[in-house]
């Protein structure tokens, strides 16, 4: 089904401290995505939504469909943490290809900046032996283990932060438009050692949405810039860190292998990458698991500005979670769409293949998406 389903429209709210409920944010993002695709609301027959992390709600998918004024044939809410967004794109694409729906909305909104954040620190399965175990603490353990095994200098992590912040500074819609130097990064305080403040993503309110349909239907409707889905893949591991065979590699490897195989491509074919950057350690490990460089050698790969605009592999060209918004995942897909349309602020000239990674929990779940150039 390579290329048979396209992303026909994208839409997003502002990001930051908005003081709004998640339904209103989702509705705004969906309305903008439908306007972008030039598709009427009545054409939508599927709504797939990631559940809000900050406040769990029963039958959230049905609540959203009602708020949209839509009675879809199929849909619902899904939770795999930040990996849920590409998972929902996968479900929608498979449903369209199987003839179960024709036009699908995929969306996510949350309000942790102004709402509740009670799920960010909690006992986590067998890891509960460590007490109240925050997400940041889990990533700090992985970060520390990576340092023990591979001994990267702090500048390796700093290069990720500096690149993301530079890209966010160029994005007029980014929540944090403040570039940093390597000296700034090294001077930033530790939050959960060995992670510094600038290793950690933003906390944001906001919403984002996509419109999916078949390539054939997009042609019939004269959709202006449909972006074909070339491949996707998924991987999962134990929720408890203590049950994993290693902390320095994840099922991102399996996810990427599946997506590359479906797309008939490899790492060398990728022109621009939107890599889940909840923490800087995530980016280094994802580059290795995806095959851009051997295990333990991401330090060398990111040197000399390779991740920056104009580098070999421009990454998170709208700022990512470290600068554009802490909303997990869907905005990375939207930036990949902009790159494939040729309309990104920091456009990679001639870009024809974009890769997106999503991740959930403390590297519990992973999903990969590969997009091609707009028709």
Q: 14: buried, middle or exposed (CB in 10 Å: 19+, 13-18, 0-12)?
A: middle
pLDDT at 51: 92
Q: Return the structure tokens found at 125.
A: 């399965």
Confidence (pTM): 0.95
pLDDT at 55: 81
DSSP string, 298-367: HHHHTGGGTTSTTSSS-B-TT-HHHHT--S-SHHHHHHHHHHHHT--TT--TT--EEEEEEEETTTTEEE
Closest by CA to 331, choosing from 302, 369, 298, is 369
Are the CB atoms for 299 and 311 separated by under 8 Å? no
pLDDT at 238: 87
Q: Return the structure tokens found at 161.
A: 């932060």
Q: 67: buried, middle or exposed (CB in 10 Å: 19+, 13-18, 0-12)?
A: middle
pLDDT at 239: 83
Q: Which residues of the chain have a pLDDT value below 50?
A: 119-121
pLDDT at 122: 53
């Amino acid at each position: 089904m390579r290329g048979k389903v396209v992303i026909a429209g994208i839409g997003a709210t502002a990001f930051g401290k908005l003081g709004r409920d998640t339904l209103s944010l989702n509705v705004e993002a969906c309305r903008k995505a439908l306007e972008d695709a030039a598709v009427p609301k009545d054409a939508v027959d599927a709504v797939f939504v990631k559940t809000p992390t900050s406040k769990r709600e029963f039958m959230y998918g049905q609540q959203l469909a009602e708020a949209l004024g839509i009675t879809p044939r199929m849909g619902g809410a899904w939770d795999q943490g930040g990996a849920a967004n590409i998972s929902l794109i996968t479900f929608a694409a498979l449903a369209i290809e199987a003839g179960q729906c024709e036009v699908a909305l995929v969306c996510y909104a949350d309000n942790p900046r102004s709402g509740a954040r009670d799920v960010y620190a909690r006992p986590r399965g067998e890891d509960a032996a460590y007490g109240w175990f925050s997400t940041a603490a889990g990533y700090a353990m992985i970060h520390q283990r990576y340092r023990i095994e591979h001994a990267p200098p702090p500048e390796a992590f700093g290069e990720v932060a500096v690149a993301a912040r530079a890209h966010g500074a160029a994005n007029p819609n980014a929540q944090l438009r403040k570039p940093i130097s390597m000296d700034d990064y090294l001077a930033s305080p530790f939050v959960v050692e060995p992670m510094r403040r600038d290793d950690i993503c933003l906390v944001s309110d906001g919403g984002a949405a996509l419109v999916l349909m078949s390539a054939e239907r997009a042609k019939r409707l004269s959709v202006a810039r449909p972006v074909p889905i070339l491949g996707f893949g998924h991987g999962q591991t134990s929720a408890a860190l203590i049950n994993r065979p290693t902390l320095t590699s994840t099922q991102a490897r399996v996810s990427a292998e599946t997506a590359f195989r479906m797309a008939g491509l490899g790492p060398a074919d990728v022109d621009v990458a939107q890599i889940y950057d909840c923490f800087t350690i995530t980016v280094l490990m994802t580059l290795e698991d995806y095959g851009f460089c051997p295990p333990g050698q991401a330090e060398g790969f990111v040197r000399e500005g390779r991740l920056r605009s104009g580098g070999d592999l421009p990454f998170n060209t709208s700022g990512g979670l470290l600068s554009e918004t802490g909303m997990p995942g869907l905005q990375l897909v939207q930036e990949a769409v902009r790159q494939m349309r040729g309309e990104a602020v920091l456009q990679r000239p001639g870009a024809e293949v974009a890769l997106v990674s999503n991740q959930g929990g403390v590297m519990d779940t992973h999903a990969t998406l590969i997009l091609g150039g707009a028709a």
